[in-house]
Amino acid sequence: MEIGYSCWGFLGPGVVDTPDGSRSYRAPLIDALEIAGHLVTLLQANRDLDEAGLDLCDAYDFNSGLPDLDVVMFEWRWPLPGRNTTACGSLGHHCDLHRQAELVEHYTFAGVPTIIWDLDRRLSADDALRVLPNVRVCEFATRPTPGATTTFCPVPDSRLDAADAYELAQLHRPTSLVYVGNQYDRDEHFDRYFASAAAHVGHRVAGKWTRTQAWPHVNFTGRCAFTEVDRIHRGALATVMLLPARYATAGHITQRLFEAVLAGCVPLMPADVVDGHRFVPDELIVVDGKDVLERVEYLQRIAGTITHAGLIYQCLRYLDQMRLSRQAAVFQQVMTDLMSTPE
C-alpha cells in the first residue's frame, strides 16, 4: 500500500528546542512499514532538513503536495495558540495544523482509509472524526477511548534485543534520580513523587520546566539534546514515570519508559497510573515521595550486584509487549480492516 504519514517532528536527532519525543521510534516504525512492503510518503515539512540541516531525502520520501494514497496516517496535532494558530508566514508560525487540516479535507473526508494516532490524547472523545467509517483512532492507552485501538509506544526490536541487564547493572551511575522530559501538565505528579525525594538524593531534571518556584531545591538543567537522553539515563539509578492526569487515568505510557529501561535506569511507577503494574514489577510501584526515596536508597545498596541486574532484566521483559514489530502488526491489521470496510 501507499501510505501517507503526517508528523510534525524529526526522523533524526533534530534540534534541542523541541518537545518531539517521537524521535525515539518514528523512523524505526516507518522503516518497519517499508520493510513490510509498503511505500511511505511523509506529508509534512521536512524539518530534518529545514531546521536541523540533515538531508534524509535519499532514505525517505517527502511530499508537500497531495499524492495518490491508499491510506493516510496522522500523528495527531492540536491547536497551540501563538504557534500553529497564527497566520502562515508570520513570525514563529508552525504550519502543522494547517497542513493537517488540508490533508484531512483532501483524504479523510473523501473516504480514504485514515489512522489517527492520538499520541498526546488531544482528540476529544466526541470528535466527529471518530465515527467516520474510514477512520480508526489508535492510542498508547491500556484503556483507550471507546472505539479506539491500543497500540503501545513502540520499542525498536533491535534495541530491546541488544540490551544486556548484567552489563547495564555494571555501569557507573553517579546520579541517583533523574527525570528527562518537559513539564507539560506534570506538576501534580512531580510534586507528589519526585520533588520531596529529590531533597535527599543526588538528582537532575532535564527538560523544559518554566514554572519551578515551588521547588527551589530541585536541580533543573534545562532542555537537553535528543542524543543526550540515553547518556543521562545510563548515568542514573532511577527515574519516575511522571504523567499528566489524562495519561495516568488511561494507562497511557510514553517512550520515557523504554528510554530509561534500555539504559538500565530503573523506572518507578506512580500508584495512581491505571494498569501501571502491566509495565513494571510490583516492587517498583510507588505511592508517594517517601516511597520513591526508599526505592532509590534500596537501589543504591544493590547497585552493580546480581540483584540489580535481575531487576533490570525484569523491566526489560515488561517491554516485550511494546515491541515495534508487535505494534507494526497492529497497524497492519487496522489498515487491512479499513481497506475492507464498505464505503
- Beta-ladder partners of 203: 177
Q: At residue 304, what is the residue type?
A: G
**pLDDT > 90 in the chain, percent:** 95
Say what the pTM is.
0.95
SS3 state at 67: coil
Query: pLDDT band at residue 340, thresholds of 50, 70 and 90?
Result: confident
H-helix or E-strand containing 61?
A: strand 61-62
pLDDT in tens, 258-272: 999 999 999 999 999
Grid cell of 237 as nine digits: 539509578
Query: pLDDT band at residue 343, thresholds of 50, 70 and 90?
Result: low
User: What are the residues whose beta carbons fall under 8 Å from the beta carbon of 126, sequence distance 6 or more?
Assistant: none
Q: Distance (Å, rounded) from C-alpha 207 to C-alpha 269? A: 19
pLDDT in tens, 33-83: 999 999 999 999 999 999 999 999 999 999 999 999 999 999 999 999 988
Contact 44, 96 (CB under 8 A): yes
pLDDT in tens, 129-157: 999 999 999 999 999 999 999 999 999 99
User: What are the residues whose beta carbons fall under 8 Å from the beta carbon of 226, sequence distance 6 or more?
Assistant: 10, 13, 14, 16, 20, 23
Q: Say whether pLDDT at 341 is over 80.
A: no
First and final CA of the chain: distance in angstroms?
Answer: 18
| Mean pLDDT of all residues in 1-8 | 97
| Mean pLDDT of all residues in 299-324 | 98
- Beta-ladder partners of 117: 75, 138
Query: pLDDT band at residue 342, thresholds of 50, 70 and 90?
Result: low
Q: Distance (Å, rounded) from C-alpha 118 to C-alpha 304? A: 39
Phi, psi for residue 6 in degrees, rounded to 5:
-105, 115
pLDDT in tens, 154-181: 999 999 999 999 999 999 999 999 999 9
Q: Say whether pLDDT at 104 is over 90.
A: yes
Q: Say whether pLDDT at 1 is over 90.
A: yes
Check residue 173 and report its DSSP letter: -
Q: Distance (Å, rounded) from C-alpha 253 to C-alpha 276? A: 9
Average pLDDT, the chain: 96
Query: pLDDT band at residue 17, thresholds of 50, 70 and 90?
Result: confident
The per-residue pLDDT for 288 is: 97
Q: Distance (Å, rounded) from C-alpha 102 to C-alpha 45? A: 13
What domains, with CATH codes, occur in the chain? 2-154+323-339 (3.40.50), 157-322 (3.40.50.2000)
Q: Distance (Å, rounded) from C-alpha 207 to C-alpha 204? A: 10
Burial class (CB in 10 A: 0-12, 13-18, 19+), 222: exposed
Nearest alpha-carbon partner for 269 in 198, 329, 252: 252
Q: Distance (Å, rounded) from C-alpha 206 to C-alpha 179? A: 6
